[in-house]
Structures are given as structure tokens and as C-alpha cells.
Structure 1
Amino acid sequence: MYKLPKFTTENQDEILDFMQKNPFVTLVGFDGEFPVATQVPVETRLYGNTIKIIGHIMTNTDHCKAFEQNPNALVIFTGAHAYISASVYEEPAAASTWNYKTVQAKGLMRFLSAEETLQVVKDLTDQYENPHTSPAAFKKMDDEYIQKHLKAIKGFEILVSKFDHVFKLSQNHSIKNQESIIANLEQTDDVLAQQVAEEMRRNLSKASF
């Protein structure tokens, strides 16, 4: 990771919050020859001081087979990102850059039983579909339909043993430069750039205390 002290935080709750707010991750494994990767939605849960990442993947895939051989997993969480033009700096004859936030979590994957996998799917569905009002609620699905599709997936649980992060928001620049960057990003039609501007403004507010 491109990690410098200015681009990190000591606040573990902030890191966990970022992981929980960015649940569509890149799940990386190793099949013995090449890395394998899949984009999947997950839940990040805290049990005391233990972090677990929970989700499911298709059974008949190279990815699933890779984890059956090697349970070591890397999970990459990413948020909004944006190109930062040096043209708005106090001294613009400098290198432009990119701002972004990311967390990388490592740990051992454990495949879940059919009953546990069913619970994972239910929990994930209930998180995004109102279980009481949505016509796509989990409880509205036919049991035969659920059991048929359950055979094609495996639930997993990753016990996080290590995680690292980069929250790069131009903290290595002057306040004036940061304010100019924010103003420039807010003027664009790029939703991600606007989100980065919001993150930067929030970060500046915290730094001022």
C-alpha cells in the first residue's frame, strides 16, 4: 500500500465504520498459480475485539476452489476517489495526484454449513430489502426456490488477523491547497469527486479542533 503517516488514522472505529459503509468488496485469494478475485457484498461484524467478514460466493468457480486449497484471504474495501489536479495548488508546477480511501483486511476463510449459508443470505437480503414491506423480501421467497439456489453457493466467514488502510485526502498539503482542492471538486459533475470533497471537508473540520 502507498502508506504514509499523514494518510492514516489511529481511530479504529473510523476504520471499521468505513468497512461497514463500503460493503461491496474485492475478495482476493490464490489458486497456487495466480491470484483470483471476485467482487462480492459482505457484512463486517465486530465481536468484542474480533472482526469477522461474512458473505457468500458461487461454488462452481475457480475462486471457491482456490479457497478450498488455500484459506488465506485478502479483502479490499474501497470508497470514493478522485483525480486531484495540481493546477489548483498555490504552486501549480507540481505533480497531480489521486485521493482515495481504502482498507485491506487479511485473514483465514472458513466455509459455512448450508444452514449458516442460508442465514448469511437472509441477513444480507434483509439489510437491503425491508423484510416487512418489500415484495422481494427474503420471507416472500418460495422455500423450493431458496433451496435450489442455496446448492450453488457457499457462505464464508473470514476472521480478520490483520488490516491496514490509506485515507489519502491531501493531508500533506497546506490548508489553502486543501480548500482549493475541495472547491474544485465541488464544481464538477462527478459524484465520486463530490464525495471526496465532502470527506476532505469533514477531515479539515476534525483537524481544526
Structure 2
Amino acid sequence: MYKLPSFTSDNQEEILAFMHQNTFITLVGFDGEFPVATQVPVKTVVDGEVIKLIGHIMTKTDHFKAFEQNPNVLAIFTGAHAYVSASVYENPQSASTWNYKTVQAKGIIRLLNAEETYQVIKDLTDKYENPKSSPAAFNKMDEAYIQKHLKAITGFEILVSDIDHVFKMSQNHSAANKESIIKNLEQSDDILAQEVAKEMKRNL
């Protein structure tokens, strides 16, 4: 991971908040020959010093087989990102760059049994569908329907052993450059660029 001290945070709560906010991760494993990856939603669970990532995957897939063979995995959390043009710098004859925020969590994955997988699906559904008001709530689904689809799914739990991150938002630039970058990104049609501008404003 490329990073400089100016692009990191000493605030563990800020890093965890980013993980809670950016729940659709890239989960990477290794099948013995090539890396394998899948995009999945996860729930980050913090219990004291212990951090776990909870989610589920389709069972008959290359990544499921890789996780069976090798439980060492990497979870990549990604936030908004944007190209930053040096044309708006005080000195435009400089290198342009890219602003972004990412967290990489390494850990050991444990594939769950049917009962545990059921609970994972319920918890994740309840997170996004209000159990009291949503017609798509878990408790409104037919149990036979749930059991049928559970046969194709395996839940997982990742015990996180190491977390690294880069929060690169032009912290190494002058105040004038930062304001110019923000103004330029705010004028972009790119929604992600606009989000980066908001993030930079919060850091001023």
C-alpha cells in the first residue's frame, strides 16, 4: 500500500467509521495459483479489541473454493475518489494526482454453518430493510423460500488481524491549493469528485 504519514489518521474511531460507512467491499483470497476476488456487503462488528467482518457468498464459486483452501483474506474498503489536476495549483507545472480513501483489513475467514448463515442473512437484511415497515423485510419472507435460497449461500466471519489505510485528501498541499482543488471538484459533473470536495472541506 502506497502511503505517506500525512495521508494517515491516528484516530482509530475515524478508521472504523469509514469501514461502517463503506460496507460494499472487495474480498480477496488466493487459490494457490491466482488471487480471487468478489464484491460483497459486510457488517463490521467491534467488540473491544476484536474486529470481525460478517457477510455471505455464493457457495459454488471460485472464491468460495479459495477460501476453503486458504483462510487468509484481504478486505478492501473503498470510498469516494477523484482525479486532481495540477492545473489548479499555485504552481501548475507540478504532478497531478488522485485523492481517495481506502482501508485494507487482513484476517482469517471462517465459513459458517447453515444455522449461522441464516442469522447472517437475517442481520444483513434487517440492516437495510426495516423489519416493521418494509414489505421486503426478512420476517415477511416465506420460510420455505428462505430455506431454498440458503442452500446456495455460505455465511462467513473474518477475524481481522491487521488494518491499514490511506486517507489521501491533499493534506500535503497549501491552503490556497486545497481551496482551488475543492472549487474545481465541486464544479465537476462527477458525483464522486463532488464527494471528495465535501470530504476535503470537512478536513479544512
1:108 maps to which residue?
108
Deviation, 1:98, is 0.4
1:81 maps to which residue?
81
* Correspondence 1:110-189 to 2 at 5 A: 110-189=110-189
Distance 2:132 2:115 in 1: 22
Deviation, 1:188, is 1.3
2:68 maps to which residue?
68
Distance 1:173 1:119 in 2: 47
> How many residue pairs are counted as aligned between the two chains?
204
Ranges in structure 1 where 5+ consecutive residues have no aligned partner? 205-209
1:17 maps to which residue?
17
% identical aligned pairs: 76
2:5 maps to which residue?
5
Segments of 4+ moved more than 3 angstroms: none
2:94 maps to which residue?
94
Deviation, 1:41, is 0.3
Distance 1:92 1:50 in 2: 46
Deviations 1:40-96 (A, max 9, x none): 000001011111000000000010010100000100000000000000000001111
**Secondary structure class of the residue paired with 1:132:** coil
1:207 maps to which residue?
none
**Secondary structure class of the residue paired with 2:92:** coil
Deviation, 1:196, is 0.3
Deviations 1:8-39 (A, max 9, x none): 00000000000010000000000000000000
What TM-score results when the alignment is normalised by the length of structure 2? 0.99
Deviation, 1:112, is 1.1
Deviations 1:135-175 (A, max 9, x none): 11101111111001111011000000001000000011111
Distance 1:120 1:197 in 2: 35
* Correspondence 1:19-38 to 2 at 5 A: 19-38=19-38
Q: Which amino acid aligns with 2:167?
A: F
Deviations 1:89-131 (A, max 9, x none): 0000111110000000000001112111111101111111111
**Secondary structure class of the residue paired with 2:154:** strand
Distance 1:195 1:147 in 2: 40
**Secondary structure class of the residue paired with 1:165:** strand
Q: Root-mean-square deviation (CA), in Å?
A: 0.6
Distance 2:84 2:54 in 1: 34
